[in-house]
Structure 1
Amino acid sequence: MERIDTIRKISEELTNELVVCNIGFPSRELHHLKDSSTHFYMLGSMGLASSIGLGIAMSTSRKVVIFDGDGSILMNLGSLVTIFNQNPDNLILIVLDNECYGSTGSQCSYASTVNLGNVAKAVGFKNNFFFDGYEKELKFKEVLNTCGPVFVHIKVKPGNANVPVIPLEALDIRDRFMDEIKK
């Protein structure tokens, strides 16, 4: 399954959750599919979606869903240890694993030789889900109903959807998201 199809299936099941989306094409794809003030589209800071999402989860009781990539999570493996130790019950970390750095030219990542789900389990995550990306039905309701922190590893095909750039300035994305958090 292509990343945009996976994002589509998951976003169809999201209601009022706060969403932090990894830089580049994943953010563009989510914005194209389902723009919302509950979405924080990262325009920079590769590797920090998990850290930003953790900070948000620790400051609110609302469910926080993080769309991250394999390359980004590999850049900041320490965030897995921090998430595990902070133990937020409202956090879901989704790693969309295409085994490459899709937003920077599709260079291969080490996700082809490292099982990120096993890394999360080794860190101590007790609530883990794996989807091979070829499943027609991505049953995400079970994930949403699981007490966090939750690690979701989804294999997707390499490639980026042909979607436009997000037509919002970084400050506008930040401000509307902050307004959403304050509700």
Structure 2
Amino acid sequence: MIEAELFVRQALERGFGLWSGVPCSYLKPFINHVIDDPSVRYIPAVNEGDAVAIASGSHLAGIRGVAMFQNSGLGNAVNPLTSLNNTYRIPVLLIVTLRGEPGAPPDAVQHGLMGPITTAMLDVMQIPWEYFPDEEAKVGEVLDRAIASMDGTSLPYALVMRKGSVAKKALKSSMEIRVPKVSRRGGAFFETDANASRSDMLKAILDAAGDDVPLLGTTGYTGRELYALNDRSGNFYMAGSMGCVSSIGLGISTVRSGRVIAVDGDGAILMRMGALATNGYQRPENLVHIVLDNGMHESTGGQATVSASVDLCAVAAACGYRNVFETRSPEELRDLLSQKDLSGITFIRARTIPGSPEDLPRPTQRPEELSKRFAAFLQNR
């Protein structure tokens, strides 16, 4: 059994500067410590996949990230672990608890299957792993092996935590209550007569961003159209990891200054709408979250989403976004992004019509090349 402070201190010394996670009783002393420790950036996530995406954004921005959660939530993290971290070769350190461990004392019934298959799932996802250290002398060795593996493979590394690995630690602080305060709100719900295309809106975003602002384009046609319009080192074209774009943006904006623009889609934001709560609570001053909403999953055949029945601006406002706008005009979107006095986390819902250019290209660079290029852009800003 080790003290949480020992592990966290040695991890900090090795560059692990941002932690994100979802609670588990095995992790209780660990999470209690990172919450109380002012030297640690800790972002509580609403689900395990978001924690992985937040840690991944931090890594892209040059700060090693840690995602920690219960093994029962490992399934929620499979999407980004396989289609983001593996595809783009983004290493994060995972701490996954082993509830329902075979041969251990009986656990709650819901862990009956996940306990025996946890390490097998990591193996199937090609994530190297070892057990979380339970002796002080082993902490440094384990962290060094994890770093060597991550640096060598550019893949995540998992530490599987058994019960009783970390000594008890009470939580001293309480989470600050942050009441939503919205400064402005444009447009009106049910104004659905959009006449601008996705490309029109992306051109407006590119014009306003210039050369210095990083842009993240969600999976599907958005990233591909962004690539077709202007391939630049400051663009990150997501493939897979649907719904994670704003969480990656949160990880970046937490550890790097300067505006970050995350371009989402209506289907993607609905898939992981809980990320709005995390973003709105953290409230990074420099994050702009834009949703291009055409009411459908266009790249998969045009199946309708329920976005027309959801006031996404009201959701963002209720979650704590500082500035909330709704627009149907590329010119208005460009003007909004060009405002010099626009400060605080911002949400913009931009209505668009369906349709995309014919013969839409895909990036010719390999995903790992794109992520390295993007990381270099962020870290050289």
Instruction: Report the Cα distance in structure 2 between the residues aligned to 1:112 and 1:136, rounded to whole angstroms.
Output: 20
Task: Report the counterpart of residue 53 of structure 1 in structure 2.
Answer: 249
Report how far residue 137 of structure 1 moved. Answer: 2.3
- Measured on the aligned residues, the alpha-carbon RMSD in Å equals 1.3
Report how far residue 174 of structure 1 moved. Answer: 0.4
1:2 counterpart = 2:197:
yes
| Paired residues of 1:117 and 1:153 also in contact (CA < 8 A) | yes
Instruction: Report the Cα distance in structure 2 between the residues aligned to 1:136 and 1:37, rounded to whole angstroms.
Output: 23
Task: Report the counterpart of residue 64 of structure 1 in structure 2.
Answer: 260
1:138 counterpart = 2:332:
yes
Q: Aligned to 1:137, what secondary structure does the other structure show? A: helix
The TM-score normalised by the length of structure 1 is 0.94
**What is the identity, as a one-letter code, of the residue corresponding to 2:375?**
M
Task: Report the counterpart of residue 207 of structure 2 in structure 1.
Answer: 12
Instruction: Report the Cα distance in structure 2 between the residues aligned to 1:136 and 1:25, rounded to whole angstroms.
Output: 18
Off by >6 Å, runs of 4+ in structure 1: none
Q: Aligned to 1:66, what secondary structure does the other structure show? A: strand
| Paired residues of 1:25 and 1:161 also in contact (CA < 8 A) | no
1:86–1:32 Cα change, 3 Å: same
| Comparing 14-23 and 87-96, the one that deviates more | 14-23
**What is the identity, as a one-letter code, of the residue corresponding to 1:140?**
R
| Comparing 162-171 and 64-73, the one that deviates more | 162-171
- Pairing 1:91-170 to 2, within 5 Å after superposition: 91-132=287-328, 135=329, 137-144=331-338, 145=340, 146-162=342-358, 163-170=360-367
Instruction: Report the Cα distance in structure 2 between the residues aligned to 1:158 and 1:127, rounded to whole angstroms.
Output: 26
Count of residues in correspondence between the two structures: 181
Q: Any stretches of 5+ residues in structure 2 without a counterpart?
A: 1-195
**What is the identity, as a one-letter code, of the residue corresponding to 1:5?**
D
| Comparing 139-148 and 30-39, the one that deviates more | 139-148
The TM-score normalised by the length of structure 2 is 0.46
| Comparing 18-27 and 121-130, the one that deviates more | 121-130
1:177 counterpart = 2:371:
no
Percent of aligned positions that are identical: 36
Q: Any stretches of 5+ residues in structure 1 without a counterpart?
A: none
1:54–1:141 Cα change, 3 Å: same
1:90 counterpart = 2:286:
yes
Instruction: Report the Cα distance in structure 2 between the residues aligned to 1:139 and 1:112, rounded to whole angstroms.
Output: 20
1:117–1:11 Cα change, 3 Å: same
Is the radius of gyration larger for structure 1 or structure 2? Answer: 2
Higher relative contact order (CA 8 A, sep 6+): 1
